């Protein structure tokens, strides 16, 4: 990977601002690699480990941060806007709180209603953000349900195996 051929947003930021990215790595108690390619990988691992705080730090050093804020109409650096097509607003945060109380079926109904609204107002970015948020929540819930079902299925097989083993042990003890 060479400078100017970034593969994603993290690559782009680190390749453009390697010294600032190294400071982020060091801020979280790690030694920053000397090679830029290794630094990119270290930052990606840190994002996986620590999540949102690292992303916020990366946004703060984004090479085009001022331009993105200016173009998007944001006047303050305190904005939630990160330049990644995010329309995450206070309204969306409130929606997330409400979504946590809904079942998957109810979420699907909300999603369908929002999709209809988007067809009527295709330029409404807040509405699009809501659709994405609801869709993400549906996907998260379905994954969570699949994991639980998979664990239950594994537990069932474990119980059957233990029952068979116990039966064999008892059978051998009796004979």
Please check whether residue 117 is in contact with residue 127, taking contact to mean a CB–CB distance below 8 angstroms: yes
Q: What average pLDDT does the segment 75-96 reach? A: 52
Indicate the SS3 state at residue 26. helix
Asked whether residue 86 carries a pLDDT value surpassing 50, the answer given is: no
Three-state DSSP at 123 gives coil
Number of compact structural domains in the chain: 2
Task: Indicate the DSSP class of residue 139.
Answer: H
Task: Find the mean pLDDT for residues 18-37.
Answer: 92
Last residue of a domain, one of 85, 111, 130: 85
Residue 43 vs residue 127, higher pLDDT:
43
Same domain, 106 and 122: yes
Domain of residue 45 covers 1-85
CB-based burial of residue 20 (10 Å sphere; 0-12 exposed, 13-18 middle, 19+ buried)? middle
pLDDT at 89 over 70: no
* Helix ranges, the chain (H): 9-16, 18-27, 36-50, 52-61, 65-71, 90-99, 104-120, 125-174
Q: Are residues 76 and 105 in the same domain?
A: no
DSSP 100-116: TTS-HHHHHHHHHHHHH
Q: What is the mean pLDDT of residues 11-21?
A: 91
Domain match, 91 and 174 both: yes
Which of 85, 105, 121 is the C-terminal boundary of a domain?
85
Share of the chain above pLDDT 70, in %: 81
Q: Are residues 24 and 54 in the same domain?
A: yes
pTM, whole model, 2 decimals?
0.42
41 with 100, same domain: the answer is no
Check whether residue 101 and residue 160 sit in a common domain.
yes
- Of all residues in the chain, what percent carry a pLDDT higher than 90? 17
Provide the pLDDT for residue 83.
Answer: 44
């Amino acid at each position: 990977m060479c400078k100017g051929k970034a593969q994603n947003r993290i690559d782009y930021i680190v390749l453009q601002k390697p010294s600032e990215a190294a400071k982020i790595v060091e801020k979280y108690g790690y030694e920053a690699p000397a090679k830029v390619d290794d630094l990119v990988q270290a930052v990606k691992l840190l994002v996986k480990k620590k999540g949102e705080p690292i992303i916020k730090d990366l946004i703060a050093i984004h090479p085009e941060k001022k331009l993105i804020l200016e173009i998007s109409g944001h006047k303050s650096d305190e904005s939630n806007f990160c330049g990644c097509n995010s329309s995450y607003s206070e309204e969306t945060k409130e929606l997330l709180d409400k979504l946590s109380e809904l079942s998957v079926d109810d979420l699907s109904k909300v999603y369908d209603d929002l999709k209809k609204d988007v067809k009527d107002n295709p330029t409404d970015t807040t509405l699009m953000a809501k659709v994405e948020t609801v869709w993400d929540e549906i996907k998260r819930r379905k994954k969570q349900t699949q994991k639980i079902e998979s664990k239950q299925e594994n537990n069932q097989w474990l119980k059957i195996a233990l029952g068979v083993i116990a039966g064999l042990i008892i059978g051998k003890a009796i004979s």
